Amino acid sequence: MAKLLHLSIFFLAALVLQCHCGEDDRKSHVVYMGDRPKDAASVASTHHNMLAEVLGSSSEARESLIYSYGKSFNGFVAKLSDKEVARIKEMEGVVSVFPNAQLQVHTTRSWDFMGLPESHPRLSAEGDVIVGLLDTGVWPENPSFSDEGFDPPPAKWKGICQGANNFTCNKKVIGARFYDLENIFDPRYDIKSPRDTLGHGSHTASTAAGIATNASYFGLAGGVARGGVPNARIAVYKVCWASGCTSADILAAFEDAIADGVDLLSVSLGSDFPAPYHEDVIAIGTFHAMKNGILTSCSAGNSGPNRRQVSNYAPWALTVAASTIDRSFSTKVVLGNGQIFLGNSLNIFDLHGKTFPLIYSGDSANYTAGADPELAAWCFPGTLAPLITRGGVVMCDIPNALALVQGSAGVIMPVSIDESIPFPFPLSLISPEDYSQLLDYMRSTRTPTATILMTEPVKDVMAPTVVSFSSRGPSPITPDILKPDLTAPGLNILAAWSPLGGASISPWDDRTVDYFVISGTSMSCPHVTGVAAFVKAAHPSWSPAAIKSALMTTATIMDSRKNADAEFAYGSGQIDPLKALNPGLIYNASEADYVNFLCKEGYNTTLVRIISGDNSTCPSNELGKAWDLNYPTFALSLLDGETVMATFPRTVTNVGTPNSTYYARVSMPSQFTVTVQPSVLSFSRVGEEKSFTVKITGAPIVNTPIVSGSLEWTNREYVVRSPIAVFNNMPSIFSSIDEQPQSKPKFKGPWEGSTSTIYHKKSTFKSMHRTDRTDGFRGLVSNNRLGYHKH
C-alpha cells in the first residue's frame, strides 16, 4: 500500500505516454555483433545491407538504420518490428538483438574517512590518467574542474571536445561528447551539449577526480571537496537526459571512450531488470572495455534491501555498493512540552527556537478547492486551507516531494530513510513511530506547539554500514560470482553540482547551488573509480582484473552484526585506497578467462568467437559452475538440501616483495570444512605465479541465507583476504543464453564470413528513477530535473 501511495500522477502519465501499441510497429532495437570487425571501414554498409535484406529495400534500410558501431565493437541500432527482429537474430554474426531500453542514473569528508587525506603525496603519473564517465555530462565552469596548473592533455588522448551551446573543455576536462540517437532531448530541462543540467554527472566526476576546493551546502557539510585523483584528467560522455539513458547511447559512448584512450570508466547507471550478459548493454560495453585494458566501475543499484536486486553484475566489471561515513545529519523537532524527536533532512533555515502551532494536514482540508481530509493529508499544492496552516508547523501523513504548504513555518513528515533530504523550507523527516507520538501530543494538548531546528552534523560511530537502499546480491544471473564486489561511501556525499539541477528536492525551489548533498550507489561508484585511478597511476601496466583484485583483497572487513546481509551487502568490504596500492598478491584474469567463463554459462564456440573477435573455443557445450574463474572471492550457491562439495582453483601473482612466503589462514563456521592445497606459497621473484585450490565440504543446508567465512594469505607484511560465502539460492532467473543455433543463415555482404537508470538514490518521494538529488527520497516527480539522485 505504501508503494502505491508514493506513486505520482506524473509517473502514471509517463507510463501512458511510453506505451506503444500494435505488434508490428517498428521500435528501436540494438543489434550486437561482437568484437570490432577487421574491415571497420565497411561496417556501416554491412549493417545497411543486412537491413535491406530483411526489410526488402535499400530505402527502407536507410530509414530504419539509426546508428552503426564499429570503432570498438560491432553492431547497430535500427527500428525493427518483432518479425524483423526474429529474422535479424538468425543472421550470421548476430549475437543478440534487444530493445533500446531506457536505463536510469543509479565530498568533504568521505576521502578522509577512507584513509586518503588531502596531504597524502601524489604521483606525478596521476596527471596522465584519464577517467571517463558515462553520465549526465558536466558543468565545466564549476571550481572542481578548474585546470589551473595543469599541463596539456597526455599525448595518448585521441578524443574530442564536442563543443555546442557555449560548452568548452580545458586541461582538466579534456574531452566531452553527448549522445541522443532516439531524440529524447527535452528543451524544458536539457541542453544539447555535454553540459550537465541535472547535476548527477558533475557530482560523480568531481567525486572521482575533482580538484580540491572549499565547498558546502549553504554552510552544511563544509570543508574541502575533492576527488580521489585530483590531478587526473576527465572525459565525459553524456548519455543521460532528463527522461533517462538509452541503451543505444550507452553503447555508442562505450565505443568512443575505448577508442579515445581513457584509462578507466565510471558508470553510475543501470537497469532495474536483469538480463543475460549478451543482452545487457552494460555487460557488453564493459566486456569490450576490459578487452582493451580498461576497468569499469559500476554502481550496484538502489533497489535494496531485498536480495538478488544487484545491477551490473558481470564478472569483468567492478560492482560497487554504498555505505555510510562517520558523519550524518540530524534535524530535531522540539515540542512545546520540551520533548525532542530526532529527525532527518538538510534544513538550513533558522527559526531561532521560536515555537509555532502544530497543525495536522488532515484537519486543514481546502474544501473550497474540492479537497477532502484524506487528500489534504498528502499536502499536495492547493489541498490545504491557507488560513488554517499559515504560521504553523504542519504534519503531512505522506512523504511528498511536491509538498507545498504556503505560509507555514515548517513541515514534518513520517518516513525512515538513511539519506538526508533538502527542501526549500524548514522540514524534518521523523520515524512513523515518532510521528504517531506527535499526533497523540497534538490531540491531547489544548494548544500544541512545535519548532524545527537547523540541521546539525553528528558523528556516526556505527560507520561504515551498508545503507538500506544499496542493492543486494546474490547475482541474479551467476550466483557463484559474489556480487557486489565491495562498498564505498554513498550516503550524504557533497560534491559538484549543476546550477540548473536545483537546490533541493522540491520543484518549486528556484535557488541554485554549486555543490549539493546526495546519496546513492551513483555516489559510491566514483569513489571506487577514483581509487582505481590512484592504483593505475602507481601501476600503469596492471590489467583491469589486477586493479580490481587489489581493491577487493585489501578492503576493510565489515561487521556482519551491523549488516545482516553480510557479503551480499558489502562484498569484500569497504575500499581502502592506501592498502590497495600494495596488495602483495593479486588474482589476475584475462579475456580468455572470461571467455571460458562464458562457455561455462552456456555460450557456444560460435558466439564466443563473435564476442571476442578471435579463435576462442569452448571445450564442450555442457553448462558448468563459475568456480574456476580466477576471482578474488569464493561463492557457493546451493539449492535446498544440495550436497556441499565444491573445489575452486585459483592462481595468484606476486606483486609484493621477492623471496616471500605466504601462509593460508581460513576462517569458517565449523559446519563446513575448508581445505587449501597447498597451504603455503613461496615466491622467489615479483611477477611469479602460484596456483592452489580451495575445497569446501559439509552437510547439506536448507533455507540458509548466507554463511560467511574467509581465506587470508598472510606473511609479516601483507594480508590478502578473500571472503567465502555459502548460501541457499534459487536457480538463476535466466539460463544465461536461451537458444543458440549451431548454424545461422549466412548473410551475404561485403563483410561476408565475419562472425540501461542513473544510480544516485532517488528519493523516497520517488522520482521516476531520478538519481541524484538525494538519492534516497523516492520522489513524486516524473522528470530528472525534479527527481532525486539515488544511485
135 is catalytic: yes
259 CB-contact burial (10 Å; exposed 0-12 / middle 13-18 / buried 19+): middle
372 is catalytic: no
Distance CA 432, CA 479 (A): 36
Q: Considering only 235-249, 614-628, 634-648, 738-752, which range has the smallest mean pLDDT?
A: 738-752
Predicted confidence (pLDDT) at residue 780 exceeds the cutoff of 90: no
Which pLDDT value is given to residue 693?
98
Tens digits of residue pLDDT in 593-623? 999 999 999 999 988 998 888 888 898 777 8
Cα angle, residue 764 at apex, residues 411 and 569 outer, rounded to 5°: 135
C-alpha cell at 51: 537491413
Q: How confident is the model at residue 111 (pLDDT cuts 50, 70, 90)?
A: confident
Which pLDDT value is given to residue 402?
74
- More confident: 104 or 571: 571
Predicted confidence (pLDDT) at residue 161 exceeds the cutoff of 70: yes
Predicted confidence (pLDDT) at residue 754 exceeds the cutoff of 70: no
Compute the mean pLDDT over every residue in the chain, rounded to the nearest whole number.
88
- More confident: 761 or 682: 682
Q: How confident is the model at residue 448 (pLDDT cuts 50, 70, 90)?
A: very high
Which pLDDT value is given to residue 768?
23
Q: How confident is the model at residue 759 (pLDDT cuts 50, 70, 90)?
A: low
Predicted confidence (pLDDT) at residue 105 exceeds the cutoff of 70: no
Distance CA 490, CA 521 (A): 6
Which pLDDT value is given to residue 5?
30
- More confident: 413 or 3: 413
Which pLDDT value is given to residue 507?
82
Q: How confident is the model at residue 743 (pLDDT cuts 50, 70, 90)?
A: very low
Average pLDDT of the segment spanning 379-404: 90
- More confident: 399 or 229: 229
Average pLDDT of the segment spanning 697-707: 96
Predicted confidence (pLDDT) at residue 701 exceeds the cutoff of 90: yes
Q: Considering only 275-279, 457-461, 563-567, which range has the smallest mean pLDDT?
A: 457-461
Predicted confidence (pLDDT) at residue 740 exceeds the cutoff of 60: no
C-alpha cell at 650: 585459483
Distance CA 472, CA 323 (A): 12
Residues, the chain, total? 791
522 is catalytic: yes
Q: What percent of the chain has pLDDT over 90?
A: 77
- From the list 464, 515, 461, the residue with the least C-alpha distance to 490 is 464
CA neighbours closer than 13 Å in the CB half-sphere of residue 625 = 16
373 CB-contact burial (10 Å; exposed 0-12 / middle 13-18 / buried 19+): middle
Predicted confidence (pLDDT) at residue 20 exceeds the cutoff of 70: no
DSSP characters over 8-28: -HHHHHHHHHH----TT--EE
Q: Out of 35, 112, 135, 196, which one is annotated catalytic?
A: 135
Tens digits of residue pLDDT in 481-512? 999 999 999 999 999 999 999 999 888 899 99
Q: Out of 6, 29, 48, 200, which one is annotated catalytic?
A: 200
Predicted confidence (pLDDT) at residue 19 exceeds the cutoff of 90: no
Q: Out of 28, 522, 524, 612, which one is annotated catalytic?
A: 522
Per-residue exposure over 526-540, b if at least 16 CB sit within 10 Å of its own CB, e if not: bbbbbbbbbbbbbbe
Average pLDDT of the segment spanning 416-432: 93
Average pLDDT of the segment spanning 185-208: 97
What SS3 state is found at 59? helix
Predicted confidence (pLDDT) at residue 12 exceeds the cutoff of 60: no
Average pLDDT of the segment spanning 683-703: 97
Tens digits of residue pLDDT in 246-298? 999 999 999 999 999 999 999 999 998 999 999 999 999 999 999 999 999 99
Tens digits of residue pLDDT in 233-251? 999 999 999 999 999 999 9
DSSP characters over 226-272: --SSTTSEEEEEE-EETTEEEHHHHHHHHHHHHHHT-SEEEE-BB-S
Predicted confidence (pLDDT) at residue 225 exceeds the cutoff of 90: yes
Average pLDDT of the segment spanning 69-97: 93
Predicted confidence (pLDDT) at residue 642 exceeds the cutoff of 70: yes
Predicted confidence (pLDDT) at residue 128 exceeds the cutoff of 90: yes
Predicted confidence (pLDDT) at residue 134 exceeds the cutoff of 70: yes
Angle at which helix 200-209 crosses helix 521-538, to 10 degrees, equals 30
